[in-house]
Amino acid sequence: MDIDFSLILVSLVAFCGALWLLDSFLIKQGRLEAIENYKRTQAKGRSEEEVSQALKELAQEPLVVEYAKSFFPVLLIVLILRSFLIEPFQIPTGSMVPTLQVGDFILVNKYAYGIRLPVIGTKIMDVDEPKRGEVMVFIPPHEDKYYIKRVIGLPGDTIRYEDKNLYINGEAVSKEFVEDISVKTTIGDLPGTLFSETIGTIEHSIQYIDAAGSRRTRTNWIVPNGHYFMMGDSRDNSEDSRVWGTVSETEIVGKAIAVWMHKEPGLNLPTFSKNKRIF
């Protein structure tokens, strides 16, 4: 399971905010009383400098409270941005090649498909629904971590994938041959083919491994209400809805909108030369 940064942020914001409130309503009163007591009983006969230094020390906040008050607004802003606006995400596998490469850092629009509460994911405001062809980040039904694939089927759609051909509601999805390519896999480079595919209004690239046959006996799916059928653009090198089923609407994270940085695995410097919008 991946580290839940949303839970960590919420916990830190709650902790810092609680300390701030605790200090404001309880601890601070003790400091004010100590200052008043010092002025009444000890300030007389002392130099202005001594009194000023003593009052400064008495008014000093505990270090943990000082840090909490400093970090709270910063953490709150980060939580709001990450939970409701934009969240960064790194591409961990090659299932979305050629659209997205391993090492791409992307931005995910968190409000494109509705505003959700952090951690629990409950939608509190509708904005829009996923459309065929869009690239979406979500949590799959079999594993509690972020995945990224392309939306292929909407609720109620019938999907068929057979002999490297995709059909939605009985109609073949349009694709055009681009060129022969070499496809990187875990067992080395294999000969493949690059196509341009159009789903809805979105044109994008997909790739096949020429020698790869069908590893799956099932070829037809009906997408349940409130669910989406997801596939990777590297069609023969992607574990997706063909394997683990459809994605519930409640597990949507957001819409992938742009690559903002790329870093090759290992000791390599990041580059911004591959920045682009995601289609």
Per-residue pLDDT of the chain (279 residues; tens, 9 = 90+): 456 778 888 999 999 999 999 999 988 888 888 888 888 888 787 888 888 888 888 888 999 999 999 999 999 999 998 889 999 999 999 999 999 999 999 999 999 999 988 888 888 888 999 999 999 999 999 999 999 999 999 999 999 999 999 999 999 999 999 999 999 887 888 999 999 999 989 999 999 999 876 566 789 999 999 999 999 999 999 999 999 999 999 999 999 999 999 998 888 899 999 999 999
Please tell me the distance from the alpha carbon of residue 265 to that of residue 92, in angstroms, as a whole number. Answer: 10
Reported as a single tens digit per residue, the pLDDT across 26-64 is 888 888 888 888 888 887 878 888 888 888 888 889 999
| Residue 175, both tokens | 């694709």
Locate CATH 2.10.109.10 in the chain. 91-277
258 vs 86, 88, 116, CA distance in Å? 11, 10, 21
Residue from 206, 208, 229, 230 nearest 279 by CA: 206
Catalytic residue, from 6, 95, 234, 238: name it.
95
Residue from 261, 256, 259 nearest 271 by CA: 261
| Residue 261, both tokens | 């940085």
| Residue 126, both tokens | 């509708």
| Residue 47, both tokens | 């130099």
CA dihedral 151→185→139→17, nearest 10 degrees, is -120
* Chain mean pLDDT for the chain: 91
Residue 164: the pLDDT is 93
Catalytic residue, from 149, 234, 238, 255: name it.
149
Strand ranges, E, within 100-187: 104-109, 115-116, 123-125, 135-138, 147-153, 158-162, 165-168, 171-172, 174-185
Residue 215: the pLDDT is 60
Q: Does the annotation count 28 as an active-site position?
A: no
| Residue entry with tokens 């003593």 | 54
Yes or no: say if 228 and 130 are a contact pair by the CB < 8 Å rule: yes
Q: Hey, is 48 helix, strand or coil?
A: helix
Q: Give the containing element (helix H, strand E) for 156.
A: none
Reported as a single tens digit per residue, the pLDDT across 1-16 is 456 778 888 999 999 9
Cβ neighbourhood burial of 246 (10 Å; 0-12, 13-18, 19+): buried
Q: Hey, is 257 helix, strand or coil?
A: strand
Yes or no: say if 173 and 203 are a contact pair by the CB < 8 Å rule: no
| Residue 43, both tokens | 């300030």
| Residue entry with tokens 């100590």 | 34
Q: Domain 91-277 in CATH: superfamily?
A: Umud Fragment, subunit A (2.10.109.10)
Residue 1: the pLDDT is 43
Residue from 72, 66, 67, 69 nearest 9 by CA: 72
Residue 180: the pLDDT is 96
Q: Does the annotation count 95 as an active-site position?
A: yes
The residues, any chain, with a CB within 8 Å of residue 106's CB and separated by 6 or more, are: 88, 89, 90, 91, 100, 148, 256, 257, 258, 259, 260, 278
